[in-house]
Chain A
């Protein structure tokens, strides 16, 4: 068995040995350093204590994590949102060949006889039923980030899941019709755009970039937290759009391959 592998890939053994010679002491040292960390709950963080103490009072939000993500450290979130945006763009670039020329693979012809069975009625019914629930839940998580755990990132992924259910319950062609790519692209970009524009709004108001502009509202209401809620919605939009775009690109790629082989 291992001889076969060596023949296919002559460097495999040397590579494995080298990896372990390095990996063992490396992991040992990392572990030795981590042991010196304060025990869970025992350490104290000036920064963490400050933020936990300040968020409810200053920002009228009951979920401190969201206050950190979209206000105290909102600039990090702009960068993170754009990391997703850039990654999705990268995938679109790499998969773009499926737009123009369908890939041809001779082996696909042989596989034609082993087609995937049609979606069963049970999956179809359950999937369609779940879509509405999932979508509602995702939107709730996006819009209530300032009150309960959640926010744009988490909610955006849940909303995108609703679209994947559409693909699972229906079929690829139906999915493709329901998600025209240019529309999703624009939907996603508006999310990224809105976040950056809210940052500039702070500058234009004579404050700092991403400064909170709006009235904070009463604590524990849907319109508390000022700009936080808007930034959360912008992020949710970007994340949902980005993930749907990813799934769409891969579905398109699969469809193009099927078309090329039939």
Chain B
């Protein structure tokens, strides 16, 4: 029996076992022991999933739990189908969990090992979600990930704001998850199957309303998780209140898995009956485009650093959703490159935000103006990571490059414009914050607009005398190094190509699971990233940030007029993002209806 034949359950089972062990000690587990165990397990999971990614490069691994395989051609038990894309995303989750745990070594307010146990349970949920080949099992890991995430989000429960943010997060995401059950029930009622491949075979070639609504229901949960407009409201509230290491996981992998969930479910079940090019493409391109633009604008309007980064995440998820809608293996490759590249650079950004909170005791850009001058290294990391959002080589470079190239070939100039806009504006927003905090640029503006939402940010760490602890600095630097490798190292580019080839190969997936076939999927050829993307958007972002900070030098009349015009624009946006959970649910219902009606009309 080869190693890869026993490895698939480990990334899920090992962290769960460890979490139960840490729970056994409860509050009495020594802090440093919990740190050591949790970091060791997260590292092991990362290594295991990287090994799986290497093994699955050409032949995805099918693993049957309990030894229950096919019986008369029908899957009896639960399968893990470890393909390249799933393994890559799971290893990203493992890496980010390791970095987040490393960063939280210096957090003072830790209730024994509860924090560590929840982080590991979250990681197990991420891995299970990425690797499973069974629809109900997918739901179980999705829920496990959410349950751990709600607890982690409310971690700083001594204050009222974290509770409110966590409630918004829990309510909207639970409504989303409920729709997975609806979709699952519809599909099971029709086909009597739960295995993804078996569903893909049993669902038949003709779309009717049941199939369309089932697809809609499954998608809705993932759209909520992926923070697509108008389901994005929870994102900023959750990120603003969650501890920084938790934000790393939220923005670095959880939201990405929302987009991946749509791709997985579609590629395994619906690719034959609801092909993307027929209609779905336009719906998702429009939704993605609106999300990318609104997210970028909202990010630019924030002064609370974590909230700013959260809106930028929504913007980037809009681009990732559009990437999938481009409906080609190359688009999928661009999407995977984009998701992971964004995850790594965003992790570095949140870790730098955590460093800002640690050294300066706040994350309000306006209040902190010029106060970061004594911490140039923190400022440099923040600015570098910010450039990654615009396509610097440690961020979304490869994804941007592949996607723009493909969109130009498909004559989707709008997509290219929006993706440049999103990258430049979100990066400029973070750069502006870095310039103001660490260089003291820009005028003093006590009444600068802060658009909407829950306020307040309490320090998470005990102040350290003068020097920043080394692990806290190492974590974001490691994320940036991994990001650079991801974008530039050719073997990884080949992995991305393999992953995209497998995801695009619906028939191959079915054959592998249902007949044990060893068919190899055709991987698209991916060109190395173009240097245009590595240079021009980051420079543009720098220029935009500088202009924003220097606008106090503009003639007074010009500023007045601009401010008046912008207010018409800000006021409704501010009212929209009220942070009221009722508003969020109303928008969720309204948005869900829009998607449902659009799908139903497309496949009448």
Contacts and interface: CB of A to CB of B under 8 A. Distances in A.
Interface residues of A, number: 74
Interface string A196-226: 1101101100111111100000000000000
Contacts of B67: 202, 207-208, 211
Interface stretch (A68-76, A124-132, A153-161, A169-177): A68-76
A82 B19 contact: yes
Contacts of B72: 50
B517 interface: no
B74 A47 contact: yes
B77 interface: yes
B234 to A, nearest CB: 16
Given A25-B597, A196-B16, A89 B157 contact: no
A89 B114 contact: yes
Max chain A CB contacts within 10 Å: which of B148, B578, B594? B148
Interface in B163-190: 163, 182, 186, 188-190
A36 interface: yes
B324 interface: no
Contacts of B125: 79
B13 A85 contact: no
Max chain B Cβ within 10 angstroms of own Cβ: one of A23, A82, A87, A208: A82
Given A89-B114, A190-B24, A209-B13, A22 B591 contact: yes
B337 to A, nearest CB: 30
Interface string B27-65: 110000000000000000000000000000000000111
Nearest to A196: B17
Given A192-B20, A211-B66, A97 B158 contact: yes
B213 A87 contact: no
A182 B150 CA distance: 23
A166 interface: no
Contacts, number: 237
Contacts of B105: none
A189 B21 contact: yes
Given A18-B589, A79-B141, A86 B66 contact: no
B214 interface: yes
B489 interface: no
Given A11-B582, A15-B586, A97 B157 contact: yes
Contact of B140 (A83, A186, A202, A203): A83
Given A21-B590, A199-B9, 5 more contacts: A29-B597, A72-B68, A90-B118, A96-B157, A202-B66
16 contacts: A11-B578, A15-B583, A22-B594, A29-B600, A34-B210, A37-B190, A73-B136, A76-B136, A79-B128, A82-B124, A93-B111, A93-B118, A190-B20, A190-B24, A208-B66, A210-B66
Interface of B: 1, 6, 9, 13, 16-17, 19-21, 23-24, 26-28, 63-68, 71-72, 74-78, 111, 114-115, 117-118, 121, 124-125, 128, 136-137, 140-141, 143-144, 147-148, 150-152, 154-155, 157-158, 163, 182, 186, 188-190, 192-194, 198, 208-210, 212-214, 216-217, 575, 578, 580, 582-583, 585-587, 589-594, 596-597, 600
Interface of A: 11-12, 15-16, 18-19, 21-26, 29-30, 32-34, 36-38, 43-48, 50-51, 54, 71-76, 78-80, 82-83, 85-87, 89-97, 181-182, 185-186, 188-190, 192-193, 196-197, 199-200, 202-203, 206-212
